[in-house]
Structure 1
Amino acid sequence: MARQQAPRSVLSKACDCVTELAIRHPGDLAQRLAARLSLPLAEARVLCDQLADLQWLVNAGTADRPQWRPGALRQVVRRYGLAGLQEDVPWQQDFAPYFELPAHVARIAQHAFTELVNNAIDHSGGRQVTISMRQTPLQMQLLVSDDGRGVFNSIGRQFKINDPVHAMLELAKGKLSSQPERHTGRGLFFTAKMADIFDLHANGAAFQQRGWENEDWQRGRPVCGRGTSVYVAVALDTERTVDEVLRRYSADGAGYGFERTVVPMKLLTAPQVGLESRAQARRITQRLTDFRRVELDFDGLQDIGHGFADELLRVFSREHPQVQLVPVNMAPRVAALVHSVAEPAAA
């Protein structure tokens, strides 16, 4: 006879709290679940068995005297008021104790967690933040959502940027902060570079970055109706480390100075909108003087306009010789035009 299954809604609520309850109350988990979810004890016991079948729980005891512990799947969900919140406290008290991550992944998780929650505290203008962290057999997954004004509106107010695409371009460069006296604009940039999957949703816009796609930024489908939501996923077998990523964006790859960046040129394109004008080039070059080396990533572009290339690679380079511009991932026609404007004119 098939075991009765809990309704999907009950199962979802159980997944949000069972990891914490299993660690705190391994011997009387069914009773704790029954109280938390307002279930009869018999249904809570069936629910524990169902969660074990789904890898949320492991019974280290016997059928008559179960001793539950978290399984391969773990999850903690919390909501906090932003007023007076300190981002390290939720991590230390409510999240870190309930996960078993490889040491270098745990450090990435802590970095992402504290940076994203701090952004919500300092920049969102909201009242609450909801944090969900999940461990699967393959990944660490983190979702941080606030109810504030939205990151692209925040950038627009501070920097007079009305288009979310242009705001995302500046975020993609790094060193962008609406509070430069308190922040250096590293948090979101480096968190994205440490992740295998990074999704940013705000103000009716969405952008995503995938570690296996040359870390290019792509437009996505927005799902956030209010505030900002950031989703991060990191493979448990990743070879990335916090230290390696920080060093990667120093000029020599050995220090910790944020001296190098990559500009995703395709981000400014859309159907029937290519890179043609000098105005687009000037938008690309905004704040590039904050860096010593800038890689101009032309991945996915088959053509660019002469005016765009000339303004970017001749005019800007002549005015700012201290900034090394390095075009990468160029299609043949793009490379030919880039070389034609970058090379000195024949005598």
Structure 2
Amino acid sequence: MRLAVHVKLLPTPEQASALEATLYACNRAATHASRVAFTKDLKDRNGLQKEVSAELKATFGLSAQPAVRAMKKVVDAYAALKANLRAGNLGSPASKRYRRAVGSPIAFRREAAQPFDDRCLSWQLDARTVSIWTVAGRMRGIRFACSADQLKTLVEYRKGESDLVCRGGTWFLIATCDIPDPEVYEPVDWIGVDRGIVNLATTSDGSNYQGRRLGRYRRWQARKRAELQARRTRSATRRLTRRARKERRYATHMNHRISKEIVSVAQRTGRGIAVEVLGGIRERVRLRGDQRGALSMWPFRQLGAHLAYKAQRAGVPFLEVDAAYTSQRCPRCGHTARANRLDRNRFFCRQCGLAGPADVVAGVNVRDRARSAWVFVTAPAPAT
């Protein structure tokens, strides 16, 4: 599996100035190459390189390899746009968002990440320093900070490009590490995980990870956001950006904590983890106006992604199962009806009388579906 390791750079003021100028030059060059690619319909790297390579070096002061990385960034951006259009992530061809995406060239922000390969960037892991190409020449001895686990991962598994990023005046390198997948064990049973808004995650064991604290925090942030938006000043805009980043970090931290605990329980007990497939939920459900904001900020996809990759790193089996009627089906008799769900918190089967917390019942149904699905996943293929 591929893992991105974030390390914090600790440049001197002179080094930071050179890094800033380099990032700015690379993104200006990428934006120019993007305009040429859009105008002349050049979406392959070789064709784009023949067209703009000399110009990027002469006009923007890039060396050969950084120019190649900038052009590759442009090609990758158009490939990602094409994939999103094909998947319908930008709406129908008649939508305003779709037309805006295809009607103008891709532009890169001044502080957008810039990839560097081993020709432009070298790591001195023992000394915890890096040497990186800049428009002011090769900058050597730039210190970085990371944990002992991150350093060990870099030493053993770092491979390929590293991205230079500046966030709020702080510099980072994001290194790609190829970690071998551990062998997935045969589970003795499954832990079903039901994801929600009020309760971020509820397991079939009855463990409940409530989202009240996150909900209160986001409502408070929404009030502060409305106050800042009403001012309409540059300072308010900058503070809004900082608050949005802080809110995302808080939700990400909670998802990391929840997923880490669930994976550790599954690994310790020899069980697998099963979750519902919740893709396309915004298109499937109809909500009141006051509910749309809560659903848009619901970090269920990120929680599922954290569970998946942490399970993969630990060798824990992971399955996604059908989400249909998991909160309305009785796990004991199989009776499925909307009336079984008395309210958001309570479940009562109208046929056999089984009662309990609705989210726990949903988690049990997810677990039972994983038991059935795993039989088909591990069944040997029929002989031909």
- The answer to which structure has the higher helix fraction is 2
TM-score (norm 1): 0.25
TM-score (norm 2): 0.24
